[in-house]
Amino acid sequence: MESEFRLQPENFTLDLMLGSRSAGEMHWQIVPDKHTWVARVQTDFGGVLPGLRRVQTSRVHPRTLTSLGYSEGDGKRSTFETQVDRSGGVLTLKQGRDEASAPLLGDVHDPVSVLLWLRANVQLERADVLMAGGKVHVRRLADVDVNGVHARAFELRPGGALVYLADAPPHRVLTLVQPTDFGLLDAILRVERSRIRADTPRRRRR
């Protein structure tokens, strides 16, 4: 089945949970910007985790959903950046004062764009995705029921992150699971209790 996902302006929030304890929130904003799209993800850690902020910004190609540039930092300054020069065939990485360039071997993804790309490719069974720092292997797992919602599950390696997407378009991000030093960190889509829809389930208890 072909995905019906298309980029459109979006704002949504995921609550962070470490076990049954609150650990902060993650807010997504996706907006058009001239001939590209920009996805900004602000993660505010808190609760049982140290109070830190991480801001990730990805500039995304409107058709391929691949990365045209990426930055990560605390919202005030970037600590890591990638710049994609498609016309010149060059990929540039910046970390602090260090900078390195390498030939651009093909379309690349960043930690944000790969999730948008996956929403548009929910039918795949497995794929190797080129990232700025290497490759990520995406493998589809068995479909699951998330509070009555049919969801597609994917595993990303290395790292072992899990992604649960609603089966119905626009394949909303329901849950992200990331192994950390503190245990499994769940990011769970927040919904208004008075406006629960079939593709936006409440927290599934484990």
pLDDT in tens, the chain (206 residues): 445 678 999 999 999 999 999 999 999 999 999 999 999 999 999 999 999 999 999 999 999 999 999 999 998 999 999 999 998 999 999 998 899 999 998 899 999 999 999 999 999 999 999 998 789 999 999 999 877 789 999 999 999 999 999 999 999 999 999 999 989 999 999 985 433 444 444 444 44
Question: How confident is the model at residue 146, as a pLDDT?
Answer: 77
Give a yes or no: residue 60 inside a domain.
yes
Domain extent, residue 104, equals 10-191
204 domain-assigned: no
pTM: 0.88
Q: Which burial class, exposed, middle or buried, applies to 74 when counting CB atoms under 10 A from its CB (0-12, 13-18, 19+)? A: exposed
CB 15 within 8 A of CB 22: yes
Domain-located, residue 2: no
Is 155 within 8 Å of 162 (Cβ atoms)?
A: yes
Q: Does 199 fall in a domain? A: no
Kindly state whether residue 86 falls inside one of the protein's structural domains: yes
Q: What is the pLDDT of residue 191?
A: 80
pLDDT number for residue 105: 86
Asked whether residue 165 is domain-assigned, the answer is: yes
Angstrom distance (rounded) from CA 110 to CA 103: 17
Residue 203 lies in a domain: no
- Check residue 192 and give its pLDDT: 57
Distance between CA atoms of residues 85 and 75, nearest Å? 24
Give domain status of residue 56, yes or no: yes
- Domain count of the fold of the chain: 1
